[in-house]
Structure 1
Amino acid sequence: MNQTDIHNNVEIYQTNYRGEKPYVCEECGKGFSKKNRFQCHLRTHTGEKPYMCKQCGKAFNTKHHCQVHARIHTGEKPYICKQCGRAFSRNTHCRSHERTHSGEKPYVCEQCGKAFTTHRYYKIHERLHTGEKPYACKQCGKAFNTYRDCEVHERTHSGEKPYICTQCGKAFNTYHDYKVHQRIHTGEKPYVCKECGKAFSKNSRNTQCQSHEKTHTWEKPYVCKQCGK
């Protein structure tokens, strides 16, 4: 290592130690202590994704994300839960899972006190209070508070349905709808009525299990604006 490298390393260490963030994004004002992280962040504004998966062609804005994605194809899961032995492709997923054993929820909302096992879910929850919706649809401009919701919405424009049932070939634009559909083939009915024990494959609002439970309570939440019935 030459004198220039030593000098640069000392500068980086001192910057991190002092908590300085000399690299500031002109678009959003966010600061960074490391140049490489700053450059990665800039790509979130430009949309640049220089790292491409060799298997499926999907592109990423960081080399790390591309490498993690590649494990979907290789099946590699190097992170193991110490409690139950379950394996994960990402260290963050493994640590979050381990909290289901410990019950730890270190991220607490200052507004309402709700606690979360991951920083990601905590940040998403915070947007409910702030009203922030940082992800906008490129086609129609509709805004969302999570990237995932925006991505799913954009498929309504593109018609993309990436989740295909291996049993019948039917395609879906969300993983949730795909998993619910699979229960038609497996016969799985995980939602059980608390009153009579009848089982259902769906439990989303206004469908199956929840709708059925209203037959026991006689609840009628939908009122006609014209006649009040």
Structure 2
Amino acid sequence: MTSTQEDQHGARSQRSQEADKPHRRKREKTYSCDECGKNFSGAGHLKAHKLIHSGIKAYSCELCGKSFTHAGSLKTHKLIHSGIKAYSCELCGKSFTQPQGLKSHQLSHSGIKAYSCELCGKSFKTVGHLYRHQRIHSGFKPYSCDQCGKTFSCSENLQLHQVVHTGIKPYSCDICGKTFRWLLSRNNHVRIHTKNDVYCCDQCGKLFVRYKDLERHMFTHTEERPYKCDLCDKAFKDPHSLKSHQQIHTRKKLYKCSYCEV
């Protein structure tokens, strides 16, 4: 066989192998949830999704009492209690319990926000964050708390809210013993002790974990009240106080008790 024939034979063989490979084109999402309209490529995925709307959470964490609709979600949650963070960022060293957490974090270094909202123009790093944001415009809140009836636009916010009803504070500070309902709150608190990534007031030395909290605090060191109410003569040091005051004029009662109608 000549080299040309060998090449042709090899090319035909390669084409045959490619033809034998399974078709990798993405499946169409033909299964739609009649509760929220979300689409899925398979009936199994739709069935698993519908458990969210049922409110049934059969899988409970024995360490903190948090419950989940899927066994996989409980398994992922338990990694938080283990303290194992096997996925580390090569750029800053921050570690995560799940690969998805690392992948989302790495986008923060790129600065790229490729997904933008058509209604308000706000941009996001992931399509998931965009979808979550778009529910604000729709007003659609399909997730409700079975304890108080409060509704939420995403399941994550519902899960965070439900911890309030348990009264459990599983996350404690190793330095002072203070306990917290959420891991993020504990981690933010610890920064006060370690003085890592904190903001210090140059007037009194008070520390803050968020820059916007420092900005709000700085108003306490000035006598100026630049924020004036256009409905009365009252003036305030910061915009948040003015906004709270103006609710008196509108007679809106924005905060409702979770346990009664007051």
- Given the two structures, how large is their TM-score scaled by the length of structure 2? 0.61
Number of residue pairs matched by the alignment: 214
CA distance in 1, matches of 2:50, 2:93: 38
**What residue number does 2:107 align with?**
99
Q: Deviation of residue 209 (structure 1)?
A: 4.2
CA distance in 2, matches of 1:160, 1:207: 26
C-alpha distance after superposition, 1:74-121 (max 9, x if no partner): 444444435455443222222222222222222211122222112332
Q: Decide whether the 8 Å contact of 1:108 with 1:114 is kept in 2.
A: yes
Deviates more, 1:70-79 or 1:37-46: 70-79
Q: Decide whether the 8 Å contact of 2:191 with 2:209 is kept in 1.
A: no
Q: Deviation of residue 208 (structure 1)?
A: 5.5
Q: Decide whether the 8 Å contact of 1:192 with 1:209 is kept in 2.
A: no
Q: Decide whether the 8 Å contact of 1:180 with 1:201 is kept in 2.
A: no
Q: Deviation of residue 53 (structure 1)?
A: 5.5
Q: Does 1:25 align with 2:15?
A: no
Q: Decide whether the 8 Å contact of 2:169 with 2:182 is kept in 1.
A: yes
After TM superposition, the structure 1 = structure 2 runs for residues 60-75 of structure 1, keeping only pairs within 5 Å, are 60-75=68-83
CA distance in 2, matches of 1:97, 1:57: 28
Q: Decide whether the 8 Å contact of 1:192 with 1:200 is kept in 2.
A: yes
Q: Deviation of residue 63 (structure 1)?
A: 4.0
**What residue number does 2:207 align with?**
201
**What residue number does 1:228 align with?**
234
CA distance in 1, matches of 2:92, 2:188: 27
Q: Which has the higher relative contact order, 1 or 2, with Cα contacts under 8 A spaced 6 or more apart?
A: 2
Q: Does 1:164 align with 2:158?
A: no
Q: Does 1:219 align with 2:225?
A: yes
CA distance in 2, matches of 1:176, 1:80: 18
Secondary structure class of the residue paired with 1:150? helix
Secondary structure class of the residue paired with 1:212? helix
User: Structure 1's 105 and 168: CA in aligned 2 closer, same or farther, altered over 3 A?
Assistant: same
**What residue number does 2:51 align with?**
43
Letter in 2 for 1:166: D
Q: Does 1:122 align with 2:130?
A: yes
Letter in 2 for 1:121: H
Q: Deviation of residue 41 (structure 1)?
A: 0.5
Q: Decide whether the 8 Å contact of 1:49 with 1:59 is kept in 2.
A: yes
Alignment gaps of 5+ in structure 1: 1-11
**What residue number does 1:112 align with?**
120
Secondary structure class of the residue paired with 1:139? coil
Secondary structure class of the residue paired with 1:19? coil
What is the aligned-residue RMSD (CA, Å)? 3.9
**What residue number does 1:4 align with?**
none
Identical pairs, percent: 35
Q: Deviation of residue 54 (structure 1)?
A: 7.5
- In the alignment, which of 146, 150, 162 is matched to residue 154 of structure 1? 162
Q: Decide whether the 8 Å contact of 2:191 with 2:198 is kept in 1.
A: no
Q: Decide whether the 8 Å contact of 2:36 with 2:142 is kept in 1.
A: no
Q: Decide whether the 8 Å contact of 2:198 with 2:207 is kept in 1.
A: yes
